[in-house]
Amino acid sequence: MPHKLVLLGSYVQLHLVYRYIQGRYTYFPVLTKGLLNTMDKEGDNNSDQRYTNRTIWWEEDAHQATVCMLDQSLLPQKIVILHLTHEQQVADAITTLKVRGAPAIGVTAALGMLLALHRFLHEEPATTGAEPSPLVLRAHLTSVGQLLRRTRPTAVNLSWAVERMLHCVDRALAESPDPQNLLHSLRQEALAIAAEDAAASLKMGIYGAEFIADGMSLLTHCNAGMLAVSSGPGTALAPIYTAHQAGKRIHVFVDETRPILQGMRLTAWELQQAGIPLTLITDSMAGHFMRQGKIAAVFVGADRIAANGDVANKIGTYSLAVLAQAHTLPFYVVAPCSTIDLALPSGNFIPIEQRDPGEVTALRGMQLAPHDIQVANPAFDVTPASLITAIITEQGSARSPYDVSLRQLGRQ
């Protein structure tokens, strides 16, 4: 049965549906009165293609289940859909940034757990001749959860989703030892996480658009748009899409975002597809344009927010926050509540992922730096709460003191 979730009156409707396509049941959210007119297309590069409003989705038939995703590592040159049938493939896709963005990898982890159970239930009886016991199922899913957690340690949405799925496992097994009941429960939980992600994206857009005035020029870093969530307008870009849809005239400066160039490859492409005026700049140009008065505010996403309001986000975010303060510009962080980690008292305790030095020394496989050179490649930095004007979530916005306001949002 299709599930229909109506958000914010008549403004937008999000349908969460199973659709029978070419012999398979496919799950995905559909924006029926949404922020962008998009088309579902896949294949090689084509100037007429527009990005589908699906980034990650689930397909299942009687024989096989698949986690499907847009391969973001190939954008914008190629639009390729991956069909993953094993949890190790899901883990590899997260590690290699085929899927990225904190909310998106949270949903991916949830679907990866579901995929692992579906595969195990189909393969284990053929191997042992018997259905696996509850203890075996719990041990298998615990192992898969550990596999997925190791992929990217900074983004708390990933571990949050894994933990939520494991809690669902415990509840389902306490109710019944039937493996099919467990599969049904995990399917519902994973799809609920995806649905909540899409709904949060829309709400963040509406709350965040209140901070954008007609005629503003904004700066954003990395990619926190449609590609960073499973479906919907994103996190930091959601207010921009919403403001644009409402008729506000805006211009967006897009940092290229070294070393993976998510701003250049992904954000610039997204905004261009949406018809939003933009200017692509190198990371080192931001201060220049701030000093010239060409930037009115900064909007960024987040991978983890500590209880005191310190924010871990893509490397370079802290520098932008310092520049924004020096030029008395508002600095907004947009992220769902699942990104808030109240267990960590400050950003000093946030684990920072260290990535392959080759991402710095080479570009698309071409070595640019001298060989055998020492390289540092932290994927994230931490912006102190004192530099942040407001943190915008699907529950509303929080302001200093964040140790109070973030907990209030959590209670909502």
Q: Which tens digit of pLDDT belongs to each residue from 317-352?
A: 999 999 999 999 999 999 999 999 999 999 999 999
Q: Are 377 and 259 in contact (CB under 8 A)?
A: yes
- Per-block mean pLDDT, blocks of 10 residues, the chain (412 long): 27 35 38 32 37 81 92 95 97 98 97 97 79 94 98 96 98 96 98 96 98 98 97 96 98 97 97 96 98 98 98 98 98 97 97 96 93 96 98 97 94 74
248 located within any domain: yes
| Number of domains making up the chain | 1
Q: Are 237 and 220 in contact (CB under 8 A)?
A: yes
Pull the structure tokens for residue 185. Answer: 């429960």
58 located within any domain: no
> What torsion, rounded to 10 degrees, do the Cα atoms 54, 56, 61, 62 define?
-160
Q: How many CA atoms lie within 13 A of 276 on its CB side?
A: 32
Question: Residue 280: its pLDDT value, please?
Answer: 98
Q: Which of 197, 255, 303, 341 is catalytic?
A: 303
- Model pTM greater than 0.75? yes
Q: Are 344 and 350 in contact (CB under 8 A)?
A: yes
SS3 category, 230: coil
38 located within any domain: no
Q: How far, in Å, CA of 13 to CA of 34, rounded?
A: 7
223 located within any domain: yes
355-375 residue pLDDT tens: 999 999 998 889 999 999 999
How many residues can be counted in the chain? 412
Pull the structure tokens for residue 160. Answer: 């949050």
Domain that holds residue 258: 207-411
Question: Residue 53: its pLDDT value, please?
Answer: 67
365 located within any domain: yes
Query: Rounded to whole angstroms, what are the CA distances from 337 to 103, 392, 398, 411?
Result: 10, 9, 11, 10
CATH number of the structural domain spanning residue 363: 3.40.50.10470
- The sign one gets for the Cα dihedral 1, 118, 92, 190 is positive
Question: Residue 93: its pLDDT value, please?
Answer: 98
Query: Rounded to whole angstroms, what are the CA distances from 370 to 261, 362, 379?
Result: 21, 10, 21
109 located within any domain: no
Distance of CA 362 to the CA centre of its chain: 25
Question: Residue 62: its pLDDT value, please?
Answer: 81
Query: Rounded to whole angstroms, what are the CA distances from 150 to 91, 115, 116, 145, 158?
Result: 9, 18, 16, 9, 10
Q: How far apart are the first and last CA of the chain?
A: 30
Q: Which residues contact 183 (CB under 8 A, 6 or more apart)?
A: 117, 118, 121
Asked whether the bond before 125 is cis by omega within 30 degrees of 0, the reply is no
Burial of 273 (0-12, 13-18, 19+ CB in 10 A): middle
Question: Residue 130: its pLDDT value, please?
Answer: 79
Pull the structure tokens for residue 186. Answer: 């995990």
Q: How far, in Å, CA of 217 to CA of 210, rounded?
A: 15
* DSSP bridge pairs for 4: 15
The single-letter DSSP state of residue 266 is: I
93 located within any domain: no
156 located within any domain: no
* DSSP bridge pairs for 13: 6
| Structure-token match 């893509």, residue found | 314
Q: Are 165 and 118 in contact (CB under 8 A)?
A: no
Q: Is 303 a catalytic residue?
A: yes
* DSSP bridge pairs for 16: 3, 29
